[in-house]
Amino acid sequence: MSKGAVLRLSALSLLWGSVFLWIKISGYAFSPVEMVFVRLVLGAAVLLTIGVAKGQKLPRDKKVLGHMAVAAFLGNAVPWLLFAEGERTGSSNIAGIVSGTGPVWTLGAAVLLGSEKRLGAARVWGMVIGLLGVVLVAAPWSDGTHASTGSIVCFVLGAVSFGSSFAYVGRFLAGRGIPVFMLAGGQLAIAAVMTLIAVPFIGLEAVKWRTDSVVALIILGIVCTGFAVLLNTIIITKDGAAAAATVIYLMTVVSVVLGAVFLDEPLGWTVLLGTAAVLAATALLRRKPAPAPAPAADAGPAARVGTAPV
């Protein structure tokens, strides 16, 4: 791997791995729905601006827009709200670890949607080990756990929703020739509208104007949500999808380290072992099953599924 590729992967891992740190700090001043709305607006503005500069246009087909709305709901509005809510009483490193189980839920949803026909033993074990990792970081047997039950529920449901969105995009939006920045930016814009509608009902609170929270939210929206997608696109183009997929391993570790260093979050044996389990599960889930000896006449190539941070 070239020096440039290493630098790009390291930068993206740092950006996406730091998301949970910025969510935690933003939460000191903003309610979850306020935080997510601003983040969505900033991220959409960056991506749509880049798309317009490249001469890209938003799709106008109503069916495509409908699929984008479902993807926005599953992939942005719901999981981002759940992770922000969970970090009110849970640590950022636990949020990052549980988010790393996204490939488990992506693969499960792909099977339900018919995009994946065969799992293989390695992937089945990956799903089992990934779920074991969640149990380890939740540590329900411990009285002094570092995350509340409510926060763990939020993180898991958020990871399920986010993982499912990738399977949905792979099934209904991938391969339609939609420009990448318009697809991502349009999805964020739709999610912003959904969140705005929800603000008066679930999260309108007095904002506590703290400098650290405001700066964290700006970084979260512009850098970690907007420009990180641009960097990810460059990595896929220059270094390949396989290289981009390694970010999921690195960002999980980054989230754990940042939480410990900057927020003094605990690193007990369950957290470390749970992190290892999630990383192992991700590696197993990326293995393709052996080809069937006699493929059926109607069997097509499985849709590629992936993941990305919350």
pLDDT digits (tens, 9 = 90+) for 58-93: 999 999 999 999 999 999 999 999 999 999 999 999
The pLDDT assigned to 141 comes to 66
In the chain, the N- to C-terminal Cα span, in Å, equals 27
Between 308 and 181, the more confident residue is 181
- How much is the pTM? 0.88
Q: What is the largest CA-CA distance in the chain?
A: 64
pLDDT digits (tens, 9 = 90+) for 225-254: 999 999 998 988 888 776 777 788 889 999
Percent of residues, the chain, with pLDDT higher than 90: 60
The pLDDT assigned to 310 comes to 80
- Report helix, strand or coil for 90: strand
The pLDDT assigned to 153 comes to 94
The pLDDT assigned to 303 comes to 34
- Quick one: tokens of 84? 């922000």
State the burial class of residue 88 (Cβ atoms within 10 Å of its Cβ: 0-12, 13-18, 19+). middle
User: Looking at this protein, which amino acid is placed at residue 186?
Assistant: G
Phi and psi angles of residue 230, each rounded to the nearest 5 degrees, phi first: -60, -45
pLDDT digits (tens, 9 = 90+) for 135-146: 888 876 665 556
**Highest mean pLDDT: which of 104-108, 109-113, 160-164, 291-295?**
160-164
State mean pLDDT over 49-54.
Answer: 96
Q: What angle do CA 99, 103, 104 make, to 5 degrees?
A: 95
**Given pLDDT bands bounded at 50, 70 and 90, which one contains residue 304?**
very low
pLDDT digits (tens, 9 = 90+) for 92-137: 999 999 999 988 888 889 888 887 877 888 989 999 999 999 988 8
The pLDDT assigned to 3 comes to 87
- Average of per-residue pLDDT values in the chain: 87
Q: In what helix (H) or strand (E) does residue 53 lie, and over which residues does it extend?
A: helix 32-53
The pLDDT assigned to 298 comes to 36
For 308, left (φ over 0), alpha (ψ -120 to 50), or beta?
beta
Cα(212)–Cα(305) distance, rounded to whole angstroms? 36
**Given pLDDT bands bounded at 50, 70 and 90, which one contains residue 300?**
very low
State mean pLDDT over 166-195.
Answer: 93
**Given pLDDT bands bounded at 50, 70 and 90, which one contains residue 179?**
very high
